[in-house]
Homo-oligomer: A and B are copies of this chain.
Amino acid sequence: MQQTASPRTNRGPAAGPENRRALIAAAREIYADNGPNAPFSAVAKRAGVGQGSLYRHFPDRTALAVAVYEENLAELEEYARSGQITLDDLFDKAITQASSSMGIIALIDGDRHDPRVEALGARFLEVVERLLAREQAAGRLGDHVEPEDITISTGMMATEIARTDPDQRDAVAHRIRTILHNAFAPGAGRPRP
């Protein structure tokens, strides 16, 4: 009837932000190693944090996945802000992140209607829109390409990479990039003469 609490160590509230970071890092590892069905509690264990703290910081799986993905996205936004990002840069980032976040991506996929996830999608779309406008103006991408072409393609590519064996990822990534480059190249949208 009574729950006996026997905390081994209590580092106090100061541990809060540190724990949050540890949980996000642990989530990356756990979901990368064990796929999206890994027990939620495994994240807490890996982070060296109590179950309760995990739930305090992230009330549900989605909250955690969003936090992880948000870090990825923030890095991308930062990169986009700091210079002239190209489609290849975007693909590079997507491939890199897909390789290390496979479980998280799958997790997010399951919740695509969650408002928190939709918000991330909107932020990603913005990055893409700016990129596309610039590249089209420079004549490096065809005018037939729409932002959704890029977002969907990037998502497909990331998923495919994520589920590919590590030792074949480079080859598959190269193949998909080539396909997409051909599809998005200037002139690709019009019938050949």
A residues whose Cβ falls under 8 Å from a Cβ of B: 1-2, 5, 12-14, 16-17, 34-35, 37-38, 109-110, 112, 144, 148-149, 152-153, 155-157, 159-160, 163, 172, 175-176, 179-180, 182-189, 192
Contacts and interface: CB of A to CB of B under 8 A. Distances in A.
Contact of A5 (B14, B38, B184, B187): B14
A112 B162 CA distance: 13
A46 B175 CA distance: 42
Contacts of A160: 152, 155-156, 159
Nearest to A109: B163
12 contacts: A5-B12, A35-B110, A144-B182, A152-B160, A152-B176, A155-B160, A156-B160, A180-B183, A182-B184, A185-B188, A185-B192, A188-B188
